[in-house]
Each structure stands twice: as C-alpha cells, then as structure tokens.
Amino acid sequence: MEKLKITQVKSAIDRMEGQKRTVRALGFTKLHQSREVEATPQMMGMINKVAHLLKIEKI
C-alpha cells in the first residue's frame, strides 16, 4: 500500500462537527502535527473530507 504523510495546517475551530470529529479520528490534537498513514479507501475518505485543513504528501 502507498503511504501518505498528512499534516494539519489549519484549525478545526469553527468547522462543522463532522469535520472536527474526522480530524480527531485521524489522530490530530494540535496544529502542525504529522502522521504517516496507509492510503486505504477508509483513510482516503476521511482525508478527502478535511483536505482543506491538511497538507498531504506521498512518501
């Protein structure tokens, strides 16, 4: 599977509740945190939902 490095670059404050929960489910608690995840269909769905808050890089 392809791996992705995702970094939260914008805050989830003032966003819809579903987006806040998605950011939290991705494992982010603070701005500028990074995570490496596998590009499964489930992860891609969550990433696409909040892509405007994230920076996405292929590894």
Q: Where are the beta strands (DSSP E) in 1-59?
A: 3-8, 34-38, 54-58
For residues 10 and 1, what is the distance between their CA atoms, to the nearest angstrom? 27
23-57 confidence digits (pLDDT tens): 999 999 999 999 999 999 999 999 999 999 999 99
- Identify the CATH number of the domain defined by range 3-58: 3.30.1390.20
Predicted TM-score (pTM) of the model is: 0.91
CA 38, 41, 55, 32: dihedral to nearest 10 degrees?
-60
Q: Where are the domains of the chain?
A: 3-58
